[in-house]
Chains A and B, each alone.
Chain A
Amino acid sequence: AQSVSQHNHHVILSEAASLELGCNYSYGGTVNLFWYVQYPGQHLQLLLKYFSGDPLVKGIKGFEAEFIKSKFSFNLRKPSVQWSDTAEYFCAVSTTSGTYKYIFGTGTRLKVLA
């Protein structure tokens, strides 16, 4: 079945630690990949997106993600997290292989300790 997996459900880090959140998908064909963030009490916002080209994409607030086609992965990274990065992070995949789909992963709750 088509799916988007985020294996880390809860992550706790200290400030200045490095972050990597995993995202794997199981769609064939053309996909586009997104990371969204939901800060406490706020709505979902786009962090970054990959459509084509350079597999390393940079987003807002120092985040970046790398698309590895052979691994069906799109992991999110940040070299040094801040307390303000405490939020829930969702990976999402869109595809038109078959019918249109826009699927979110299960999310990762990140807590950054000051």
Chain B
Amino acid sequence: DTEVTQTPKHLVMGMTNKKSLKCEQHMGHRAMYWYKQKAKKPPELMFVYSYEKLSINESVPSRFSPECPNSSLLNLHLHALQPEDSALYLCASSSDRGIYNEQFFGPGTRLTVL
């Protein structure tokens, strides 16, 4: 299984809602990543988990809260988002956090904040 899956595919939420994005991989990868991609822009790294520990937080606002319950799962909890947070949220995984890593991407969750 060389796939990274993400649910839901689409999410619409209000600014007062709490929601979660889910990412799953069964490749035995020990590094997982969250990216944000705005329209016609490249993916921007948000968080990196290495061996289920948060190792990088790229100064992301606290209304985004990542969680890695186990080595196969990665969640992104959303609370009190702003309309400018609307974007495609991509999850990726790699065999480890080192620089010798190609990342495998999921299809993304398209988030709209009203």
Contacts and interface: CB of A to CB of B under 8 A. Distances in A.
B60 interface: no
Interface in B28-65: 33, 40-45, 48, 55-56
A107 B42 contact: yes
- What DSSP secondary structure best describes chain A's contact surface? strand
Contacts, number: 51
B95 interface: no
A63 interface: no
- What DSSP secondary structure best describes chain B's contact surface? loop
Interface stretch (B12-20, B66-74, B99-107): B99-107
B102 A43 contact: no
B101 A43 contact: no
Interface in A39-76: 42-46, 49, 51
Contacts of A101: 45
Contact of A100 (B41, B48, B106): B48
A43 B43 contact: no
Contact of A94 (B4, B99, B108): B99
Interface of A: 30-32, 34, 36, 42-46, 49, 51, 90, 94-96, 99-107
Interface of B: 4, 33, 40-45, 48, 55-56, 90, 92, 97-108
